[in-house]
Amino acid sequence: MSSKLAALNHWVSEVSQLTQPDQIHWCDGSIVERDALVELMLERGELLALNPETHPDCYLHRSHPGDVARVEHLTFVCTADQADAGPNNNWMAPDQARASMDGLFTGCMRGRTLYVIPYCMGPIHSPYARCGVEITDSPYVVANMRIMTRMGADALARIEREGRFVRGLHSIGELDPERRFIMHFPEELSILSYGSGYGGNALLGKKCHALRIASWQARNEGWLAEHMLIVGIQNPQGETHYVAAAFPSACGKTNLAMLIPPVTHAGWKVWTIGDDICWLHPGPDGRLWAINPESGFFGVAPGTGRNTNPNALDMLDRDAIFTNVAVTAENGPWWEGKSDETPHKDWQGRDFDPGRGPAAHPNSRFTVSMRQCPSFSAEADNPAGVPISALIFGGRRESLVPLVFEALDWNHGVLVGASMASETTAAATGAVGVVRRDSMAMKPFCGYNFADYFSHWLSFGDRLEHLPKIFHVNWFRKGPDGKFLWPGFGDNLRVLQWILERCAGRAGAVETPIGLLPRREDLDLRGLESLNGSLDALLAIDPAGWRNEWADVGNYLDSFGARVPDALRAEHARVSALVGHVAPA
């Protein structure tokens, strides 16, 4: 073993002394290894094979019913100085955190196999990619990491070349919510996760590494690690422009990433680069370049149907892992919104009884390689990434926030991102449907103080010669009857079209106190004539509502104290004045 791997070997042996596994398996990422793991999980009942005729190589995992989502209240950022983690994170002193985690990990792998998973986040030869190693005792985690990351021999070879990697130690422990913690040590680039097998808590390459740890690395190194999808939008002239868009969990990022244009839009095409995470680097040409660090989708199943996301349905009929979905009498996967079939067994394996709620868990998931997506773009493997023309922020807001608006400049756009708010969803435990501020959709994922994060975002105003434009969208406005005002899904392309036309300097807009809005005639609404009255509401500005909104944003910024950058406060004062609210200086 080369000396560059000595640190890795040393760490693996330290962990095995602590956790006492029966055996150690170094994952090579091969199909043979995958098949053996699947076999093992089938034997142990941790996976159930779905119908091999209709869904070859598809498996169902039923998690512990108390382990179905991310646990934000049990997720910590452990920096030496609490102020570096900020009020946006739970904090514990690193020594104390390590000591209590050591207690939990002691002997926890007795009778189990310890798997060493070398992985690479991003195209394997990209200078922007970063490697990590996850140690876990869960074969389900290994099988998922194989889909979600570039895992195995190539990643190990890169680690051997570079000698550096993020360390993640995970054990499902006893799956006891009382003994469950997800701890991050950004100063050491390490993660300790105990007691949960749920994706966001256990697939450490995803939220823990690619967002919480990477956001810290990104700040130190001059780039951004964001909770954003990435798509290429090809127009009928054959030009493709790329945008990255941040939405909170379960707000339709996967659907937008795989959008199929409406029938009125012949010649348009959306290419999928990523659906959840985006690493943005200033490129040599002064533009912002994006890579998707992941290689698969860990998507929310409910609501994925022929009308909402046909591309997703088409990629899910082979080689996929389903977690907590229901099954049909033919042993196919099923969830609310998938088809008219009647589910046979619910997500817990019980005979389906509508009286007990939905058949699939609202946060049930699919894990599938991005290569299976019909709209997959080969640019997702481009080591240089793709150049970004526009950044989009969006939330789930029933009222107030219009369909789309453009920020006046970079600082205004950063304020718009920082003030994002959304109604909570089932992706995290806790109440669903409560409006909370979720800056850049990073509230659960930023590995450091939001005030410093806002400064870092503002700094790109000087770092980049060609800044992308920033927009805000809201697909979720409701009318007085409680129905959505905007059709959403494929029709969202019309909004993306306006955004790209604005970037090209071709579309009109009207300046309002909150930013630049399209007028009816600036949007391509062919085929949406039925929208009529709704469009007025979708594009209206309610000054009194915005006075309250900006006052609330002011309180929110205050909650981060003196570290909030002056430029952001100045921007807040400016926009507040425009709606007639006097923000405290």
Residue in 76, 81, 290 with CA at minimum distance from that of residue 190 = 76
- Is 252 a binding residue for ligand OXD by CB under 6 A? The answer is no
343 membership: H or E segment, kind and range = none
**Annotation marks residue 251 as catalytic:** yes
Beta bridge partners of 390: 243, 469
Among Mn ion, ligand OXD, none, the one that 298 touches (CB under a kind-dependent 5 to 8 A) is ligand OXD
Give whichever of 275 and 381 is closer to Mn ion, judged by the CB atom.
275
Residues 61-100 within binding reach of ligand OXD (CB under 6 A): 70
Of 251, 278, 373, 446, catalytic: 251
| Choice from 249, 292, 367, 389 touching Mn ion (CB under 5 A) | 249
Residue in 121, 480, 404 with CA at minimum distance from that of residue 276 = 121
Token output for 23: 């055996």
Handedness of CA 443, 447, 450, 455 (dihedral sign): negative
Strand order across the beta sheet in which 320-323 lies? 48-49, 58-61, 320-323, 365-369, 296-300
Among ligand OXD, Mn ion, none, the one that 554 touches (CB under a kind-dependent 5 to 8 A) is none
Token output for 530: 């039925």
Q: Give CA separation, 49 vs 2, 314, 320, 329, 359, in Å.
A: 40, 19, 11, 14, 18
User: At closest approach, how far in Å is the CB of 294 from Mn ion?
Assistant: 10
- Is 249 a binding residue for ligand OXD by CB under 6 A? The answer is yes
Give whichever of 249 and 295 is closer to ligand OXD, judged by the CB atom.
249
- Which residue's CB atom is positioned nearest to ligand OXD? 249
Give whichever of 210 and 360 is closer to Mn ion, judged by the CB atom.
210
Among Mn ion, ligand OXD, none, the one that 70 touches (CB under a kind-dependent 5 to 8 A) is ligand OXD
| Choice from 46, 67, 72, 276 touching Mn ion (CB under 5 A) | 276
Residues 16-45 within binding reach of ligand OXD (CB under 6 A): none
Give whichever of 70 and 502 is closer to ligand OXD, judged by the CB atom.
70
- Is 427 a binding residue for ligand OXD by CB under 6 A? The answer is yes
Q: 3-state DSSP call for residue 214?
A: helix
String of DSSP letters for 14-34 = HHHHHH--SEEEE----HHHH
- Is 492 a binding residue for ligand OXD by CB under 6 A? The answer is no
Q: Which residues of 128-141 are buried (b: 16+ CB within 10 A; e: fewer)?
A: bbbbbbbbbbbbbb
Residue in 404, 334, 417 with CA at minimum distance from that of residue 50 = 334
Residues 161-200 within binding reach of ligand OXD (CB under 6 A): 200
User: CA 444, CA 451: separation in Å to the nearest integer?
Assistant: 15
- Is 297 a binding residue for ligand OXD by CB under 6 A? The answer is no
Give whichever of 276 and 452 is closer to Mn ion, judged by the CB atom.
276
Q: Which stretches does DSSP call E strand in 474-547?
A: 510-512, 515-517
Q: Which stretches does DSSP call E strand in 283-407?
A: 288-291, 296-300, 320-323, 326-327, 333-334, 365-369, 386-394, 404-406
Task: Specify burial of residue 146 (Cβ count, 10 A radius: 0-12, 13-18, 19+).
Answer: buried
- Is 298 a binding residue for ligand OXD by CB under 6 A? The answer is yes
Only one of the segments 81-89, 249-257, 298-306, 449-457 lies at the binding site for Mn ion (rule: CB under 5 A); that segment is: 249-257
By CB under 6 A, the count of residues binding ligand OXD is 6
| Choice from 67, 226, 276, 501 touching ligand OXD (CB under 6 A) | 276
User: At closest approach, how far in Å is the CB of 173 from Mn ion?
Assistant: 24
User: At closest approach, how far in Å is the CB of 227 from Mn ion?
Assistant: 6
User: At closest approach, how far in Å is the CB of 92 from Mn ion?
Assistant: 24
Give whichever of 298 and 448 is closer to ligand OXD, judged by the CB atom.
298
Catalytic residues: 251
Interface ranges with ligand OXD (CB under 6 A): 70, 200, 249, 276, 298, 427
